[in-house]
Structure 1
Amino acid sequence: MIKIVIADDQALVRAGFRALLDAQPGMTVVAEASDGAQAVRLAAEHEPDVVLMDIRMPGMDGLTATRRMPPGPRIIILTTFELDEYVFEALRNGASGFLVKDTEPAELIQAVRVVAGGDALLSPGVTRRLIAEYASRAKPPHPSQNLGLLTDREREVLSLVGTGMTNDEIAGKLFMSPATAKTHVSRTMMKLHARDRAQLVVIAYESGLVRPGWV
């Protein structure tokens, strides 16, 4: 059973999401929060698998709440605008992806399943747009000591993940099988303590492995 917490300051939005998700087999909404501080408290209390987090809320906003979340839940950022100025920062602070609020119901359901399963909710196209729009505003690159743990091949794979490539695209680029590409991505995540692909994208940029002009 996938346990979900919904954090949004609009009661009507919460009610709509709850009705949709509770109706799905294998999903249950365990709590609703009207602001970020309440979301953090409820996540600690209910230990959900997924938190749907509105990025713009009064009091503690979704960005701060994402940063203060207890370990465990995967966070999907909800935003009105596909390229919200805070989305990249939310990914840096631990979010696994984002959805616009007017997304189709089937896409929301699939998103919850994907994130609960441990994958990042970042399509290559969205990743590239995010990078092009906001990575240039990120903090100046600083080499990560953990990058020294990677093999040359893993560093190469990390840079390609950072440009928004899928495992299949990486496989084609590096002349390897998709299974081998997936293995390299998994090992890179483990060595860098990244919980999903979204975190690898952030690391690739903050370490300077990939630069905005490359996309």
Structure 2
Amino acid sequence: MRSTRPMPGNPWPHDMTLTVEDRPHTLLELLWIREAHGLDPADDAPPPLVDRPAAAARRVDEETRARWTEVWPRIWGDAVAHAATDPDPALLDRAFATTLSPDEREAVLARIVGPTARDAFGVEVSDDPAYRAWERRGSEAHLATHLTTLADSPERRDVATLADAWRRGLARVVTLPCRGTYVRQIGPHALLVTDEVRSDAAAYRAALDSFGRGPSERPSRA
């Protein structure tokens, strides 16, 4: 969504680029763990998932569950911070360098992928029939939402407000399939919202309006 020169009559600034991450894998895994294992982290976490998952088939004991509840906010914060950034092309190039040892390549790949649910909850956490069923439903629903044209996207719909946010530094929007309204600026260039916010014109414009503004500068309209 970018052209090399201005296009008269086109409301999309010719040099504006924006990444929309509407299927953030690690964040989805962490949200599934929170709900499928009944964690109740004491933090400013997103609302419940729209598609509430069944309880995990691989249950953990109460001691493990308590430890997971304590660690979840930290790994969530780290994963959100990573989701707010675009991949570093230099790291991508370095990952394929033939001079790297296996350990060095693994370290580079870990920096590219960022924090994962497995880091805190073990490699077997997503090897669960309940997770696979929930992830399959989510993938199918996600695919169904992409059977529309670019012109119908929320970003085209609300391009004037989006362009103002872009001029204040917005370069990336990350969405979550959670209920209701949840809007957070994550880092200097990214916004985290629910799918519901992004799909609703008034709510999305309010979210975009809030980006890059201090508390005293935020618009008062809903």
Instruction: Give the TM bin, normalised by the shorter chain.
Output: under 0.3
Tell me which protein shows more strand as a share of its residues.
Answer: 1
Structure with greater contact order relative to length (CA < 8 Å, sep ≥ 6): 2
Higher Rg of the two aligned structures: 2
Q: Give me the TM-score of the superposition, normalised by structure 2.
A: 0.21
